[in-house]
Amino acid sequence: MKCQPIKVADEVWIATALLHRENPKREDFTVAEIVERARRENISGELRPGVQVHAYLHCVANRPPNPGCHRMLYATGKSTRRLFRETDEFDPNRRRGKSVPEKEAIPDKYRPLLDWYNESFVGRRKGSKELDPILALRGLGKEIWVGEKPDDYVKRVRGGWE
């Protein structure tokens, strides 16, 4: 089955995903690096002028939409980006935008990137082994009752309740 011409936003996501996969120790990339990776990949046969503006603005979740409302990238600095994670904050006007390409909308050879993204990238945090933000709270505040049995602590805290 022949794919429709790839959308610029999907091309930007693919270029960024390839950079992440090829450089797993890097947290983010410059817009220039993303554009250069898209140029080298040559998915659409030429580097389209929209690639740079999509990487800089149209695909960036934490920037106001202008007019693109995708949430494919996350700005970590003025001109640095990484792939978006669903746990990232984003401009509320981008809520309806997509965060990953649709599998059928990208060439077959790039479809494994979607699996890589879901299995290896989503949930990974720099310096953290926790995948779930709620589970990351485990142990928070334990110094409050150190050396005291939990039931005794609760009784003491509730001591003045009526």
Write out pLDDT tens, residues 94-117: 998 999 999 999 999 999 999 999
In a domain, 156, yes or no: no
Q: What is the DSSP string of 45-114?
A: SS--THHHHIIIIITBTTS--SS----SEEESSSSEEEE--TTS---GGGTTS-SS--GGGS-GGGTHHH
Report the number of distinct structural domains present in the chain.
Answer: 1
Rounded Cα gap, residues 133 and 12, in angstroms: 28
In a domain, 29, yes or no: yes
H-run or E-run covering 22? helix 8-22
In a domain, 115, yes or no: yes
Residues 6 or more apart whose CB falls under 8 angstroms from that of 87 comprise 123, 133
pLDDT band per the 50, 70, 90 thresholds, residue 131: low
In a domain, 126, yes or no: yes
- Say if residue 150 is preceded by a cis peptide, omega within 30 of 0: no
Look at residue 2 in the predicted model and tell me its pLDDT. Answer: 45
Q: How is residue 40 written in tokens?
A: 């080298």
33-37, 92-96, 141-145: least confidently modelled range: 141-145
Rounded Cα gap, residues 96 and 54, in angstroms: 17
pLDDT band per the 50, 70, 90 thresholds, residue 1: very low
* Average pLDDT across the chain, whole number: 88
Domain that holds residue 36: 8-130
Write out pLDDT tens, residues 49-95: 999 999 999 999 999 998 889 999 999 999 999 999 989 999 999 99
In a domain, 95, yes or no: yes
Which has more confidence, 152 or 28? 28
> How many CB atoms are located within 10 Å of the residue 71 CB?
23
In a domain, 3, yes or no: no
In a domain, 79, yes or no: yes
Q: Is residue 137 scored above 80 in pLDDT? A: no
With 0-12 / 13-18 / 19 or more C-beta atoms within 10 angstroms meaning exposed / middle / buried, residue 116 is middle
Q: Are 59 and 12 in contact (CB under 8 A)?
A: yes
In a domain, 141, yes or no: no
* Sheet with 29-30: strands ordered across: 29-30, 80-83, 73-75
